[in-house]
Amino acid sequence: MWDEFKKFALKGNVLDLAVGVVIGGAFGKIVTSLVNDIIMPLFGLLFGGVDFSTLTYPAGAGDEGLKYGAFIQSVVDFFIIAFSIFLAIRFINRFKRKEEVIEEKKEEIKVDVKEELLTEIRDLLKNQAK
C-alpha cells in the first residue's frame, strides 16, 4: 500500500497540482493585499474619502449589519485574479500555438526533403534506363 501511495503522490500531475495550489494561495494573498491596501484606498479617495472596508448596511438589532464594503473588495479581488489567470492562459496558449506552427513547418520541410530525394531517385533511374 505504501508503494502505491508513493507512486500516486510522486506522479507529475499530483506534484504539478500541489505546486499550483501553493502558488495560487500566495498569489491570492498578494492580490488581496493589492486590493485592500492600494486599489480600494484609491477608489475611496475618488469617491470622497470613503473607506470601503467599513461600509455596512444596518440589519436588525445586531451591530454588525451587512458588510457590503467587504463584499465589494472581494469582487474586485475576484476580477483581478480572474483577469490575471486569463492573461496567463492567453500567454501560454499563444506560446503553444507558436510551437505548433513551428512543428507544422518542420513537418512540411521534411515532406519537401523527401519529395526532393524521391525526385532525384526517379531522375537517376530514368538516366540509368536510357
Tens of pLDDT along 6-23?
777 777 677 778 888 898
Residue 52 one-letter amino acid? F
pLDDT at 54: 83
Candidates 47, 46, 39; CA nearest to 74 is 39
* Tens-digit pLDDT profile for residues 53-71: 888 888 776 667 788 888 8
pLDDT of residue 63: 67
pLDDT at 61: 64
Q: Count the Cβ atoms, other than its own, within 10 Å of residue 39.
A: 16
**Type of residue numbered 101:** V
Q: How many residues does the chain have?
A: 130
Lowest mean pLDDT among 8-12, 69-73, 84-88, 95-99: 8-12
Give yes or no for residue 107 having a pLDDT over 80: no
What are the two backbone dihedrals, phi and then psi, of residue 15, each rounded to the nearest 5 degrees? -65, -40
Identify the three-state secondary structure at position 28: helix
Beta bridge pairs of residue 66:
57
**pTM of the complete model:** 0.57
